[in-house]
Amino acid sequence: MANEWIERWREGRIAFHLPETHPQLERHWSALDIPPGDKVLVPLCGKSLDMRWLADRGHPVLGIEFASEAIEQFVAEGDGEVSRYRQGYFDVWRQGSVEIWCGDFFHLHIDNTREIQAFYDRAALIALQHPARQRYAFHLAQLLPPGAKGLMITITRSILPEKGPPYNVEPEEVRQLFTPNFELELLDVLPADDRGFSEHVWSLVRRGPSEG
């Protein structure tokens, strides 16, 4: 999976990249009532412009991305000085209030996320094949403190057989994956587009240890 992802970036096969801020982020983020200053984790971030949108609204951003090509393009297309350093398993690029760590999301440790209060997932869960999605949901929960809020966008596909990413993730699977550790609310379901993709927009809140 990792090698395939890197090859996609090297060859420019990045149809999944949205060259603008995701409209559902713009529409629904304010409903989460996340105050400016809260740091936002963006797993499998690519070179998403959503990170700049969040930064422009006062959120420090921590993106995690496996392909260094994506990060190099992100900072090249942005403004401002870029600093680079090493943090554990990760090479880090920082530009303004956005820092992107290059490496495996599953190597991210809770010690690296102590300042995180929120998260945004537009392309992480749907980029993973079925066996990895359970691991992702559990690992995300371990990285977040109780009360952390997030916005997640998933996709169902009416045109099968499935080829991805993005992968088809049915609402029932989302509930099975996240309900044990998050309060989950489906905010919106968009009509299928011409590819048969329908986006589902979710609000999540990390449960406390005594909540079930």
Domains of the chain, residue spans:
2-206
pLDDT band at 90 (very low <50, low <70, confident <90, very high): very high
Q: How far apart are CA 75 and CA 47, in angstroms?
A: 8
Q: How far apart are CA 198 and CA 159, in angstroms?
A: 11
Q: For the whole model, what pTM was predicted?
A: 0.92
Q: How far apart are CA 79 and CA 195, in angstroms?
A: 34
Query: What is the CATH architecture of 2-206?
Result: 3-Layer(aba) Sandwich (3.40)
Q: Find out whether 44 is annotated in a ligand binding site.
A: yes
Q: Find out whether 195 is annotated in a ligand binding site.
A: no
- Please write the tens of the pLDDT for every residue from 9-36: 555 555 565 679 999 999 999 999 999 9
pLDDT band at 186 (very low <50, low <70, confident <90, very high): very high
Q: Find out whether 10 is annotated in a ligand binding site.
A: no
What is residue 108's predicted lDDT score, i.e. its pLDDT? 96
Given a cut of 70, whether residue 6 has pLDDT beyond it is no
Question: What contacts 44, CB < 8 A, 6 or more positions away?
Answer: 64, 65, 66, 105, 121, 123, 124, 127
Q: Find out whether 9 is annotated in a ligand binding site.
A: yes
